[in-house]
Structure 1
Amino acid sequence: MLDPGILEFLRKFLKDREQAISFCISEFTQDMFLVDVSDSRQEMKKTQEMLLQAADLSLNDQKQVYRDFFSEAFPKLFVTFPQFRRIMLKYGWPPDHLKNIFRTLTFRAEFSDRSFNLRKHPGRMDAKYLSYSELICGLAACEPHVPHGDQTGESRTRYIFRFYCRDPSGKLDFSEFREMVRDIRRCKGFSTDEIDVLNEATVSAKVFNCEEHASLTLTDFLTGVGQLKFRGTSHLLRAPVSLPIRLRENEKMRQTSSVPSTNKGSSTISPPLSPDIGTGARKRTRPTSEAVENNSDIGDSSHIMSFEAMADAAEDDMSFISPSFEDNVGPDSYDYATHVVRVKRTGQVLDVQSLWEFEAFNVSSEANEMLKGLRYFERTVKNDPDKMPMSWGKERVNLAIVWTQIAEIDHKFQKS
């Protein structure tokens, strides 16, 4: 499946091929997706910030969800249902209603500036992709302790209506409303006998001025729940286990599943990777072959890194894991190696090279220098004088000199 951003571009292009499509270069960073709800200076106005604050999801919790999401989505910014299913199974959700939950969470794109508003057909309810913003907001709204009143209650009510409403018209029919009543009675421990459910659904429908064969709109449903005319929705759409608790359990399982080093003759040094993710340039050092050769005693060598330490360092910095299969298990799961080493027969590790030291990942490589130049061209720079966006500013003279040199080289090449 193509990335939704590409599909949106093609949709605009095919609609009017003669119209010039404007665009600018943008770089997505982790800070664009995470919200520090503990910052009292930040105004909590947007739906995402409000839900995250109510769910008490810390920055560490959000970083873990961010990591899980983009481990599945990369290099795209969205996940499809199979990827969403793997994420939710990891968070302890039962697989029974995940398709309905996936459909439920996609509607946030209609009113969120942090999401990618590519679904511009209000009657369409079969979106096949989900953004990070939609996922984190849905998880926050489903937290067991999130209050069901005020703005959070309204957002939760919208999710609940969406969950039970499968009609593309956006109206809840009586059979779907009856299913909602059945689930409420089950959560309260009441009888779910068909006659009891039908009787209560018939009585409750009159609260919304709806008869048995009429449909219920979202506005009427919000009004009835908000005025406490229809009770019990606070029990619906709750996560089986709190997300922060589940994230801590997953982290403990990940740590205990790692095999400890059994080589008592070698010592492990601190990994040469920055522990912070996405907080600037990574500074790395690696032992040279000369330094290792000079240490004849392996047990006293401080330049020998065990394979376990290198694996932990790579996983702390960035996890390159396979999308895996439906249940996230199986012999076909794999990890990308993030280090290349040479090992002597004596067990000494020589020439440790991390993935980031290769030319393609080197921040000073020609390709990355070109990208840095394009970012400079696209952005505003506060200086004397200021550089306007989409211009080279004072660097245009240097750029002209470079192009002149390139032209001279090409001219000599053509002559030869």
Structure 2
Amino acid sequence: MSRFKAISELCNVVSLAAYCSDDSSMLMTLENVTSELWIPSVRVQEGESWQSVLNKELQEIFEMELESTKLLKIYKIWLPDHSANWIYHCVYSLNVTQDVKRKSKNTRGRYRGRVRWVTEQELIKLLLNGTLRTPELLIYFQTLKAHHEFPYTPSMDHITLAPEYIMKGKLVEISQEAFVNPGRNLYEQLIDAAGFNIDLQKYLYKEFIFFSFPAVYMSQISFIRFVMELGWSREDAPNVFRAADVTDRNGLSYREFLFILAAIDPYTAHGGGPAEIRCRYMFRFFDVDRDGILNLSEFRNFIAYMRKSKSLPPDLIEIMKDADVIYKNLGFSSITPLTIGSFLVAVGTLKIRGTSHIFRSVKSAQQYIQGILKREIRHRSSDTQINKRTSDFTSRYRADDKLYELAVHTVRLQKSATLINVEELWNMQTAVSQTAISIVQTSTPEQYRRTSIAIFNQESECNELLKSLRYLQQLNKFKTYGKGKPLFSWGRLDSELFGRHLINVCKSVEAIFQREPRLLDLVSPIYVMGDLHGNISDLIYFEKVFWNLGPCLSPSNMLFLGDFVDRGAYGIEVITYLLCYKMQTPHKVWLLRGNHEIRDIQKMFTFQTECINKFGDRSGLDVWEAVNGLDVWEAVNRVFDCMPLAGTIDGKIFCVHGGIPPPWLCPVATAINQIPLPLDHPDIQSPLAWELMWNDPIKKSTITDNITMELAANDGFATNYRRGTAHVFNVEALERFLSTNNFSHIIRAHEVAQAGFSVQQKAKLLTVFSSSKYCGGGNEAACILADRGKLRILRLETET
């Protein structure tokens, strides 16, 4: 049976557990897509009887009529918001002889080449190596063998049913009782700390059923596919499965699936009971051999992860030193294995620090749900050509579908759109009922509430910096054009305090970037901005026109394509603005790295000098001493080292600073996610990253006979002589990249455009430049709005 393509497709299924008592083997079929082993199954359409559908399958497999089937198990599964409230999986058993078994091996139908007969030992081996669709298959085998062999001793302990699944005789039910409400036990506290309310659980439950059905346990292969969507690497995903599989049954029940998602969610609070559960999962993640202890090799892997979270290199000598210090603090020798109890004590007594930063997904459960909704919308509208057009429309235009909740603050504005004040809902008792106040206060997770408060708290570091920028704008009357260097004054501001605040913001945003993929998955509506190059004046003009109340209250996302600093006089102001709003609204403001977000380039141009001129060259040895301009420069560049390098909008528009990469470095776009992090020397560490930041579309005027030959020999790529590095690419290379990745357009920056934009290469490549009068020239500034299936070019009339 082929996999379901969407939740809306889920329907009743009939399966066959065929057992040959002559040699104690059971019939399995090879799944086409995943290569997992399962039993013959078929969907039951409305109006069909289970038995008649099964008889057709028997004829298909054995090419003969067999009527001695018996009901083995029936599963009744609740499916909320579905055309049917319940779906059923009915498993029939059949005992066959060796002669009948031989017929199945020669079947000529759709089971041809997919039939396998396995013994109990082979079944256990398949289960342990992760190629069995579900541990239920071992239960079926043991049940059938017990019917035909007495006495029978199973080769492996009988697999117990998950407690949230209700079994009575041959009936197994899964209902809404499987959901978890906040409570006193540690797992219930974990669900509360993650903010997994019942509405969110409902979506995750349906996704669990979608990935597992007709099985009721999620396999390792399905789980790996799921968590890779959350940003886990293929290398780490099996370790997450091992951590989640606390019963060692090699398949996850719904609650086990839910609990691990809560534990690895980037927004789950790390403290008290939830922290203990997270650490228990963490221990299993590193316990590769499942022996309940961390040997020295496994513990060093843990230390390496901790160092990576702090942007420290994976130096083996330093890792061994860190491990020795922890062992010494615990009073252990370096050869003593670490038990789970010792590990929890070490974390609880702060002998191991920093566990709150590791073992986190890149994408939250809330973000993942947006992708579910897009998938379902595309599927529902894909039957006819007319519906296909509807699918394209809705999948693009409704990409922002998500669970809604009431914000905890009300914002008051003047008629001029100036913000007056912000007030918590529960303080407005004349407008909000007592029951509503209680619900809002208890239903909003603490971490979301803190984020909301930080955005509107005018005394937060971000808002203090943003207020300082407004003051500096008026004081210095920011200009980026004209002759001579503009004069700069801090006025009544404390430059040292500004620098210290900026360094703190840099540290916070660096941690945000470390959790983001290298290839962002973004949704419309979204403004796409090109090079800014220290032009704070134009950035403020864009704000006044497009997001005058700030990103938090803007209905659109914002993507900035890099080159924030250098050449212009106000690189510090531009990057301060962007990092502050990134910290406040990490899922609204998105930043990509450009070729000027590199230390060696900044030394050649202006940003390093700008930092020294504005903050001085005093030596700042710690937080209490004077801030050094080089300290600020280095803090900002550590942020650049972790910045994503490309992004997609609605899965169709590829966005990058420079240009498309050559196929020998990037056969598919998702290869970008393998670029190392941090990336402080991109020219050495990642040729792919370098190409993304530096490549250009080729200009017809530069094509010579030699370049034509080079393009033909290198898949449409040739040496970029103008830049002195990387490549140029032609329209054939662009079309191949678009076709391979199912993209429709490319949006990039990197080159000044007189009109603020240019459209090239069969109207599939758009260049956008968002800094007007660049280096004293006369060019305009522009941005691109991706919304409702259109790429709209918006040109800004800046100050004359």
> TM-score under structure 2 normalisation?
0.28
Which of 178, 181, 193 in structure 1 is aligned with 2:315? Answer: 193
- State the distance in 1 between where 2:342 and 2:262 align: 25
Instruction: Indicate if the aligned counterparts of 1:184 and 1:233 stay in contact, CA closer than 8 A.
Output: yes
- State the distance in 1 between where 2:361 and 2:173 align: 30
Q: 1:208 to 1:153 in 2, by over 3 A?
A: same
What is residue 56 of structure 1 aligned with on the other side? 195
Which of 256, 260, 265 in structure 2 is aligned with 1:134? Answer: 256
Residue 178 (structure 1) aligned with residue 297 (structure 2): no
Correspondence 1:28-43 to 2 at 5 A? 28-37=173-182
- State the distance in 2 between where 1:263 and 1:164 align: 51
- State the distance in 1 between where 2:135 and 2:379 align: 36
Matched residue of 2:293: which SS?
A: coil
Give the AA of the match of 1:51: L
What is residue 241 of structure 2 aligned with on the other side? 102
Q: 1:71 to 1:202 in 2, by over 3 A?
A: same
CA RMSD of aligned residues (A): 3.1
Instruction: Indicate if the aligned counterparts of 1:160 and 1:237 stay in contact, CA closer than 8 A.
Output: yes
Give the AA of the match of 1:216: L
- State the distance in 1 between where 2:181 and 2:334 align: 46
Q: Which structure has the larger Rg?
A: 2
Deviation per CA, 1:43-66, whole angstroms, max 9, x where unpaired?
Answer: x03443222111001223222221
Which of 197, 202, 222 in structure 2 is aligned with 1:83? Answer: 222
Q: Shift in Å at residue 229 of structure 1?
A: 1.8
Matched residue of 1:130: which SS?
A: coil
Unaligned runs of 5+ in 1: 38-43, 110-118, 120-126, 265-326, 328-416
Q: Shift in Å at residue 3 of structure 1?
A: 5.2
Deviation per CA, 1:81-121, whole angstroms, max 9, x where unpaired?
Answer: 112122223334332211111111001x4xxxxxxxxx5xx
What is residue 230 of structure 1 aligned with on the other side? 352
- State the distance in 2 between where 1:102 and 1:2 align: 14
Instruction: Indicate if the aligned counterparts of 1:51 and 1:137 stay in contact, CA closer than 8 A.
Output: yes
Percentage of pairs with the same residue: 28
Residue 65 (structure 1) aligned with residue 187 (structure 2): no
Instruction: Indicate if the aligned counterparts of 2:230 and 2:362 stay in contact, CA closer than 8 A.
Output: no
Q: 1:5 to 1:254 in 2, by over 3 A?
A: closer
What is residue 4 of structure 1 aligned with on the other side? 135
My pick for the range that moved more, 205-214 or 131-140, is: 205-214
Q: Shift in Å at residue 195 of structure 1?
A: 1.7
Instruction: Indicate if the aligned counterparts of 1:91 and 1:247 stay in contact, CA closer than 8 A.
Output: no
Give the AA of the match of 1:32: E
Q: Shift in Å at residue 79 of structure 1?
A: 1.8
- State the distance in 1 between where 2:268 and 2:276 align: 12
Q: Shift in Å at residue 158 of structure 1?
A: 0.4
Matched residue of 1:45: which SS?
A: coil
Give the AA of the match of 2:344: L
Instruction: Indicate if the aligned counterparts of 2:280 and 2:340 stay in contact, CA closer than 8 A.
Output: yes
What is residue 391 of structure 1 aligned with on the other side? none
Matched residue of 2:245: which SS?
A: helix
Instruction: Indicate if the aligned counterparts of 2:263 and 2:278 stay in contact, CA closer than 8 A.
Output: yes
Which of 164, 184, 193 in structure 2 is aligned with 1:45? Answer: 184
Q: Shift in Å at residue 154 of structure 1?
A: 0.6
Instruction: Indicate if the aligned counterparts of 2:134 and 2:218 stay in contact, CA closer than 8 A.
Output: no
Give the AA of the match of 2:328: K
- State the distance in 1 between where 2:344 and 2:230 align: 29
- State the distance in 2 between where 1:226 and 1:74 align: 40
What is residue 145 of structure 1 aligned with on the other side? 267
- State the distance in 2 between where 1:24 and 1:259 align: 41
Residue 207 (structure 1) aligned with residue 329 (structure 2): yes
How many residue pairs match? The answer is 239
- State the distance in 2 between where 1:163 and 1:205 align: 20
Deviation per CA, 1:142-184, whole angstroms, max 9, x where unpaired?
Answer: 1112222211011011011111112343111111111111111
- State the distance in 1 between where 2:239 and 2:209 align: 22
Q: Shift in Å at residue 220 of structure 1?
A: 0.8
Unaligned runs of 5+ in 2: 1-131, 154-166, 388-669, 671-800
- State the distance in 1 between where 2:206 and 2:379 align: 19
Q: 1:167 to 1:256 in 2, by over 3 A?
A: closer
- State the distance in 1 between where 2:347 and 2:150 align: 42
Give the AA of the match of 1:199: K
Matched residue of 1:169: which SS?
A: coil
- State the distance in 2 between where 1:146 and 1:2 align: 30
